[in-house]
Structure 1
Amino acid sequence: MRILVTDANGTTGHAVIRHLVARGADVVGLVSQDSSRANIAGLGATPIVGDLRDIEALRLAMDGVERVYHICPAWLPDEVDIGEAVISAAQSSDISLFGYHSTIAPHLEEVPSHWAKMQVQMALMHSGLPFSIVQPAAYMRDAFEGLKGNNLEPPYRTDAPLSWVDVEDVGEAVAILMTRPDQAGGTYELCGTDTPLAAIDMAVILSQHRRQPIAARTMPIEEFVRHSPYTGFSAAQLDRVRAYFRFVDEFGMRACNSKILAMLLGRSPTPFGAVAERL
């Protein structure tokens, strides 16, 4: 089975490709830069360079492909336009399943990065394509962006509760969905935590695993976005990042439980402590 993965050189793309290849899929990885080819080939996939905004390049990437898993690079202000372009290319290709990488709680209109995914989901509904939608929680590994020495410093209040998931579990679940028959029509919330974790909870777990005290404290958003991976972001991208973190600071992001992910994996999802050990 030949499967195209977009944004193949990102964190999600790598995880999805690894697990697709492990399941015997023939994977094509679409990347935006020629310099990313080696990374994709190293994962066992065939790299192809193309612009996600170029419908003709997308059609070329989909030539001979049976299924597409669309991931959009994070925080892009034209995410809806990109999604519509990928959908349009798929409509003129012989695609048996269009997998879309959305997010938990895409209905949050006040969070542009979430609302954009809701609009792409609506475009899929209108497209006539056979599709499945994956809605993952925040990645556990992203919590480590705020780990500065012995301090865990997220850009929101330290008691804000969030749902989390291991990106490797997401990659495995996506690979299962994209390689099984008769998967069209599903929408899957992927979460690895039944009880939301705040930064203060994560600090306790990290202290146990690192055998040294880790404290949780809030870093101002403007200071946080001066660090990787946000350096080099456009003003429009940073506006979306700020909107997300401000929402989390006020409300948290409690949106799902682990039951669907456990069903797909046939096991319990990976806990935060195990991710802490791995990283």
Structure 2
Amino acid sequence: MTTVLVIGAAGKTGRAVTAALTSRGVDVRAAVRSARRAETAYAVGARSISVVDLETGSGLDEAVAGADAVYHLAPNVHRDEVGIADRVAGAAARAGLSRFVFHSVLHPDDPSMPHHLRKAAAEKVVRTHLPGATVLRPAAYHQNLVDAALAGRITVPYSLDSPFTNVDLADVAEVAATVLTRPGHEGVTYDLAGPEVLSVRDQAHVASDVLGRPVEAVRVEIDEWVAGPGASLTAQARDDLLAMFASYDRGGLVGDSSTLRRLLGHEPRTWAQALEPA
């Protein structure tokens, strides 16, 4: 049985990738930052748990030992994204692994977003250790806004009219499982953008139609966001997200869906489908 080490398996993306892998009969070893996070990973099918410290590298060599592949997703807007990539890819290289997938972001070279640039630098570090690594560059997820839509009010601190090609998390996880378990993806970078260009205002209109009840789209002023959701963040993470909001104001985040469609072998899930009950 193939064993895949999933870094960040207790998070939203890690859980989705774990579920997609286990549905294919893959043995998933979940890398989590503390033992108390283990139940979250077990709940979606992980067979074993490795506690690792991505900031120091403690536990990484032990976690990688015996694995056939690694899926690496760093914590969101982490200040040491490049260092973490260096430690994880280095451990995989020392273990002699040839299959490694790095979860990056759509348009990592956009200079207006510091955390995107760290993703770009991390991609290069990964490929320095493992030239055959596969890089996935997903757009923002539908799921980032689903709960808000279901509650009747989508609130964002950027333009309601900027365009986005959001992608479904399940589609990203399906692609991840494919490139981790099938040959032919070595050394390739894939942009994963959804099939529709929609603004937040458009998404609210679609949600209203799908749910059969009004869904508002509301722009929150930056000062209000800083005093609210942004207040609990580090200064660096807050500044990274403020830069992202400003970039979204200027042009949203749009990519080409043709690669996702080809890798899936079927139509990607739309925003309307993401709102439907499971």
Q: What's the TM-score, normalizing by structure 1?
A: 0.93
In structure 2, what is the equivalent of residue 209 of structure 1?
210
Shift of 1:53: 2.1
Q: CA separation in 1, counterparts of 2:35 and 2:231?
A: 22
Counterpart amino acid of residue 232 in structure 2: G
Shift of 1:106: 0.3
* Contact 1:157/1:217 (<8 A) preserved: no
Of 70-79 and 45-54, deviating more is 45-54
Describe the shift of the 1:8–1:149 C-alpha distance in structure 2 as closer, same or farther (beyond 3 A).
closer
In structure 2, what is the equivalent of residue 238 of structure 1?
238
Residue 164 of structure 1 aligns to a residue in which SS?
coil
Shift of 1:251: 1.8
Shift of 1:213: 2.1
Q: CA separation in 2, counterparts of 1:117 and 1:145?
A: 27
Of 92-101 and 10-19, deviating more is 92-101
Counterpart amino acid of residue 82 in structure 1: I
Q: CA separation in 2, counterparts of 1:42 and 1:247?
A: 37
* Contact 2:98/2:130 (<8 A) preserved: no
In structure 2, what is the equivalent of residue 122 of structure 1?
124
Residue 48 of structure 1 aligns to a residue in which SS?
strand
Residue 55 of structure 1 aligns to a residue in which SS?
coil
Shift of 1:226: 5.4
In structure 1, what is the equivalent of residue 21 of structure 2?
20
Query: Deviations for 1:69-88, whole angstroms, at most 9, x for unmatched residues?
Result: 10011111111111111122
In structure 1, what is the equivalent of residue 106 of structure 2?
104
Query: Deviations for 1:82-112, whole angstroms, at most 9, x for unmatched residues?
Result: 1111122122112121100001000012201
TM-align CA RMSD: 1.8
Describe the shift of the 1:94–1:211 C-alpha distance in structure 2 as closer, same or farther (beyond 3 A).
same
Residue 232 of structure 2 aligns to a residue in which SS?
coil
In structure 2, what is the equivalent of residue 133 of structure 1?
135
Shift of 1:198: 0.3
Uncovered stretches (5+) of structure 2, i.e. residues with no partner: none
Shift of 1:222: 3.7
Matched, 1:276 2:271: no
Q: CA separation in 1, counterparts of 2:151 and 2:180?
A: 39
Matched, 1:59 2:61: yes
Residue 217 of structure 1 aligns to a residue in which SS?
strand
Counterpart amino acid of residue 27 in structure 1: V
Describe the shift of the 1:52–1:64 C-alpha distance in structure 2 as closer, same or farther (beyond 3 A).
same
Shift of 1:147: 4.7
Counterpart amino acid of residue 87 in structure 2: A
Q: CA separation in 1, counterparts of 2:186 and 2:226?
A: 38
Describe the shift of the 1:225–1:261 C-alpha distance in structure 2 as closer, same or farther (beyond 3 A).
farther
* Contact 2:72/2:101 (<8 A) preserved: yes
* Contact 2:31/2:63 (<8 A) preserved: yes
Shift of 1:260: 1.1
Query: Deviations for 1:11-57, whole angstroms, at most 9, x for unmatched residues?
Result: 10000000000111111110001111111122221121111123341
In structure 1, what is the equivalent of residue 95 of structure 2?
93
* Contact 1:143/1:154 (<8 A) preserved: no
* Paired residues, number: 276
Q: CA separation in 2, counterparts of 1:220 and 1:79?
A: 29
Counterpart amino acid of residue 47 in structure 1: I
Residue 153 of structure 1 aligns to a residue in which SS?
strand
Q: What's the TM-score, normalizing by structure 2?
A: 0.93
* Contact 1:68/1:97 (<8 A) preserved: yes
Matched, 1:7 2:4: no
Q: CA separation in 1, counterparts of 2:151 and 2:181?
A: 41
Q: CA separation in 1, counterparts of 2:228 and 2:69?
A: 36
In structure 2, what is the equivalent of residue 200 of structure 1?
201
In structure 2, what is the equivalent of residue 264 of structure 1?
263
Alignment of 1:135-150 (within 5 A): 135-144=137-146, 147=149, 149-150=151-152
Q: CA separation in 1, counterparts of 2:228 and 2:117?
A: 25
Counterpart amino acid of residue 124 in structure 2: M
